């Protein structure tokens, strides 16, 4: 009787082990999927939630002799005279010879839903021949949008991250002294109207348009909401109708959608930068069976001239320079042909090409040749 009870306990314990093992496996698999996926927030943007560029022209004063040279007809001189006239001062042409003023371009980014009275950062860049903006103060500068309207006004002490110092024999420059920033240097004067709460549909734009990724995104949204309200309009746009439960809570809908995770699909593509020799390959790059050989002929010519002169006390002869030339040819006979098998992975492809001992620039030529042979199942884009 005791032995029977022990056997039953053993069988019962075994039945409990299998469900635990399966559950652990599902957790590990789910964790792997989560790590490989991306949030919709990271691969797409929502229509209307965007930044706007602002630009303005202004003057920086208070420089220590590092401003623009105010020669006749210079735009800095004209701007300074116009500003002084607006302030009730009538300057003369001969009286404006200061080197403490610099003309600058002021740029800023107006964040989405920035309200009137909020502050934004601005960047100040020298426009003339100023040597440094260190210690300067930006005067009131309107910042315009693409429509020509004034959306912000900037003013304040500029902060320069570089400097220039030197004398007659040497000059030291660190960073870019003709570019500066003003933290919270502009006040928003006009808002960009966009009523998010009144939307009937939400348009989601993919940063990298793709049919498969757009469909996966629509499936993830529909599965989360429990209804078919999301559909891909094109490879780069997803349209989501506002469900009844979110009629008064569009912000909550966007918050829930952007946290959903999907696995973006990736094209088999190779990006090549000819100038820097940079090569970037996608994970889906595949190659058919192909044999690759790479070699180059190197000819080295060395000149070692020697002096030839007659012996001591010789009556006939002159001292002359006799050329001596050494010519060597290297055909890279130590390099062999490498066979790359069909369906290899990206790592196998790189290892096979690296075994030839070639550099990035020769690798670019080989990839283009393999693509021309039809053995490379990938798109090559040259920057």
What's the CATH code of the domain at 235? 3.30.70
302 and 181, same domain (yes or no): no
pTM (2 d.p.): 0.66
Alpha-carbon Rg for the chain, nearest whole angstrom, is: 35
Q: What is the pLDDT of residue 71?
A: 79
Number of Cβ atoms within 10 Å of the Cβ of 126 = 23
60 and 140, same domain (yes or no): yes
Q: What is the pLDDT of residue 72?
A: 67
Query: If we measure between CA atoms, which residue out of 122, 121, 134, 120 comes closest to residue 176?
Result: 134
108 and 161, same domain (yes or no): yes
Higher-pLDDT residue of 40 and 11 is 40
Distances (CA, A) of 9 to 1, 12, 158: 13, 5, 79
Last-in-domain residue among 167, 188, 209: 188
212 and 293, same domain (yes or no): no
132 and 218, same domain (yes or no): no
Q: pLDDT category, 18, cuts 50, 70, 90?
A: very low
202 and 301, same domain (yes or no): no
119 and 240, same domain (yes or no): no
pLDDT tens-place string over residues 68-117: 988 766 888 888 888 888 888 887 777 677 889 999 999 999 998 899 99
Q: pLDDT category, 375, cuts 50, 70, 90?
A: confident
Contacts of 36 (CB under 8 A, 6+ apart): 263
* Complete DSSP assignment for 113-165: TPPTT-EEEEEEEE-SS-S--TT-EEEEEEEE-TTS-EEEEEEEE-EES-EEE
Q: Does 85 reside within a domain?
A: yes
pLDDT tens-place string over residues 284-296: 777 777 776 666 5
Query: If we measure between CA atoms, which residue out of 80, 78, 43, 46 comes closest to residue 61?
Result: 80
Q: What is the pLDDT of residue 379?
A: 81
145 and 246, same domain (yes or no): no
Query: If we measure between CA atoms, which residue out of 143, 58, 154, 72 comes closest to residue 102?
Result: 58
**Mean pLDDT on 184-204:** 90
Q: pLDDT category, 17, cuts 50, 70, 90?
A: very low
Query: Structural domain tally of the chain?
Result: 3
88 and 164, same domain (yes or no): yes
pLDDT tens-place string over residues 305-351: 777 777 776 666 677 777 776 666 555 555 555 565 666 665 666 66
Q: Does 229 reside within a domain?
A: yes
90 and 168, same domain (yes or no): yes
In terms of DSSP bridges, do strands 379-382 and 269-273 run parallel, antiparallel, or are they unpaired?
Answer: parallel
290 and 329, same domain (yes or no): yes
Consecutive H or E run containing 104? strand 102-110
Q: Does 29 reside within a domain?
A: no
Three-state SS at 212: helix
For 213-222, 250-259, 291-300, which range has the lowest pLDDT when averaged over its residues? Answer: 291-300
Last-in-domain residue among 157, 188, 219: 188
- Which DSSP category does 198 fall into? G
Average pLDDT value for the chain:
79
Q: Does 339 reside within a domain?
A: yes
Q: pLDDT category, 11, cuts 50, 70, 90?
A: very low
Q: What is the pLDDT of residue 30?
A: 46
Q: What is the pLDDT of residue 314?
A: 66
Distance CA 334, CA 295 (A): 9
**CB-based burial label for 188 (10 Å; 0-12, 13-18, 19+):** buried
Range of the domain at 180: 52-188
Q: Does 56 reside within a domain?
A: yes
């Amino acid at each position: 009787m005791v032995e029977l009870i022990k056997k039953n306990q053993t069988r019962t314990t075994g039945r409990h082990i299998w469900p635990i093992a399966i559950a652990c496996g599902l957790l590990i698999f789910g964790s792997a999927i989560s790590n490989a996926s991306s949030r919709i927030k990271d691969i797409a943007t929502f229509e209307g939630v965007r930044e706007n560029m602002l630009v303005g022209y202004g003057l920086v004063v208070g420089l220590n002799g590092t401003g623009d040279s105010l020669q006749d007809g210079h735009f800095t001189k004209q701007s300074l005279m116009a500003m002084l006239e607006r302030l009730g001062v009538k300057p003369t042409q001969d009286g404006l010879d200061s080197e403490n003023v610099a003309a600058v371009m002021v740029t800023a980014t107006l964040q989405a839903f920035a309200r009137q009275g909020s502050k934004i950062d601005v960047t100040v860049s020298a426009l003339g021949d100023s040597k440094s903006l260190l210690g300067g103060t930006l005067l009131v500068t309107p910042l315009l949008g693409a429509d020509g309207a004034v959306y912000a006004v900037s003013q304040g002490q500029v902060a320069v991250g570089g400097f220039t110092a030197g004398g007659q024999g040497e000059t030291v420059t660190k960073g870019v002294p003709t570019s500066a920033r003003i933290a919270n240097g502009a006040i928003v004067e006009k808002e960009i109207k966009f009523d998010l709460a009144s939307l009937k549909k939400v348009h989601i734009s993919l940063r990298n348009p793709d049919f498969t990724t757009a469909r996966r995104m629509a499936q993830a949204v529909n599965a989360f909401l429990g209804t078919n309200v999301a559909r891909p309009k094109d490879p780069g746009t997803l349209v989501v109708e506002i469900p009844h439960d979110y009629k008064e809570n569009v912000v909550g809908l966007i918050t829930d959608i952007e946290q959903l995770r999907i696995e973006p699909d990736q094209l088999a593509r190779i990006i090549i930068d000819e100038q820097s020799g940079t090569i970037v390959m996608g994970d889906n790059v595949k190659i058919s069976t192909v044999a690759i050989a790479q070699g180059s002929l190197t000819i080295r010519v060395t000149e070692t001239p020697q002096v030839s002169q007659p012996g001591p006390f010789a009556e006939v002869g002159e001292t002359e320079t006799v050329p001596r030339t050494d010519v060597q040819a290297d055909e890279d006979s130590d390099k062999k042909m490498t066979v790359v098998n069909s369906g290899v992975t990206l790592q196998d492809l790189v290892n096979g090409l690296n075994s030839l001992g070639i550099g990035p620039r020769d690798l670019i030529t080989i990839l283009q040749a393999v693509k021309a042979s039809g053995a490379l199942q990938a798109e090559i884009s040259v920057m």
